[in-house]
């Protein structure tokens, strides 16, 4: 599989650079001083990370959002290359072996998910605000390889609300729900590992808070 992000308005330069051998190995910005800072959004299952990321995509097309590779099958309405790159186990193995993933993890003991490395490098080199929406295990891996990234924890207003959202979503079986709630309890305890916390009271508001964190600080200008 050739992982190439679907072109978005400010993505086109980055996509062209994939074609040059130099860019393939060491993506270098024409303006290294403008290299952007990666934002990593994580948080417990069912907190609404995907919904907040979708809201950022809707209201802020200037923000580049990574498309993960996964071995789980698509849900109705999900498109390859848009929601995920849906790959076979063999293809995922190949990506891992070739070092093509910035991080990867088995999520909910069910499927593998990973972030293709090259599109992230290209987006950062082009100076675009860039973000990943990944699970806690993945965020911890990025923390070791890219400690300069900004780690944002998305938190539910309460444990009861998290349970309500997980049950309300209705996309998982009872067994799967119990498994995800166990994971969520452990994940909630990880808040202290993050640079910033956003409480997801309301999706649009959470998305705006996230985008505000991507703005360069006055010292970066
Ligand atoms: P879903 O199957 O519901 O789309 O996602 C399940 C979980 O996988 C979510 O918690 C999501 O954040 C996580 N996830 C999605 N993409 C990645 C990725 O590239 N890496 C890691 N580590 N987790 C991911």
Neighbours of 112 (CB within 10 A): 20
pTM of the model: 0.82
Quick: pLDDT tens for 199-210. 999 999 999 999
From 135, 145, 170, mutation site for ligand 1 pocket: most ligand atoms within 8 A of C-beta? 135
pLDDT, tens digit (0-9, with 9 covering 90-100), for 150-176: 999 999 999 999 888 877 766 778 888
CATH class of 32-215: alpha beta
Give residue 22 CA to ligand 1 midpoint distance, Å. Answer: 31
Say if residue 25's pLDDT is above 60: no
Over residues 135-154, the mean pLDDT reads 96
Listed in sequence order, the residues at least 6 apart from 180 whose beta carbon sits closer than 8 Å to its beta carbon are 45, 46, 108, 166, 172
- Average pLDDT over the chain reads 84
Task: Kindly state if the Cβ of 4 falls inside 6 Å of ligand 1.
Answer: no
Question: Which residue's CA is minimally distant from atom 20 of ligand 1?
Answer: 114
């Amino acid at each position: 599989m050739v992982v190439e992000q679907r072109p978005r308005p400010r993505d086109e330069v980055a996509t062209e650079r994939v074609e040059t051998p130099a860019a393939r190995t060491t993506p270098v910005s024409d303006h290294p001083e403008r290299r952007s800072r990666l934002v990593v959004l994580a948080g417990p299952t069912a907190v609404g990370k995907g919904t907040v990321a979708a809201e950022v995509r809707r209201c802020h097309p200037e923000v580049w959002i990574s498309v993960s590779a996964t071995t789980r099958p698509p849900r109705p309405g999900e498109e390859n290359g848009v929601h995920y790159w849906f790959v076979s186990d063999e293809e995922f193995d190949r990506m891992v072996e070739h070092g093509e993933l910035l991080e990867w993890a088995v999520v909910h003991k069910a499927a593998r998910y990973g972030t293709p490395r090259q599109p992230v490098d290209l987006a950062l080199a082009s100076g675009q605000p860039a973000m990943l929406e990944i699970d806690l295990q993945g965020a911890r891996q990025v923390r070791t390889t890219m400690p300069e990234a900004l780690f944002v924890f998305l938190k539910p207003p309460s444990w009861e609300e998290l349970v309500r959202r997980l049950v309300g979503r209705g996309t998982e079986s009872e067994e799967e729900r119990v498994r995800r709630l166990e994971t969520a309890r452990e994940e909630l305890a990880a808040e202290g590992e993050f640079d910033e916390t956003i409480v997801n009271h309301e999706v649009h508001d959470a998305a705006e808070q996230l985008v505000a964190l991507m703005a360069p600080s006055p010292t970066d200008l």
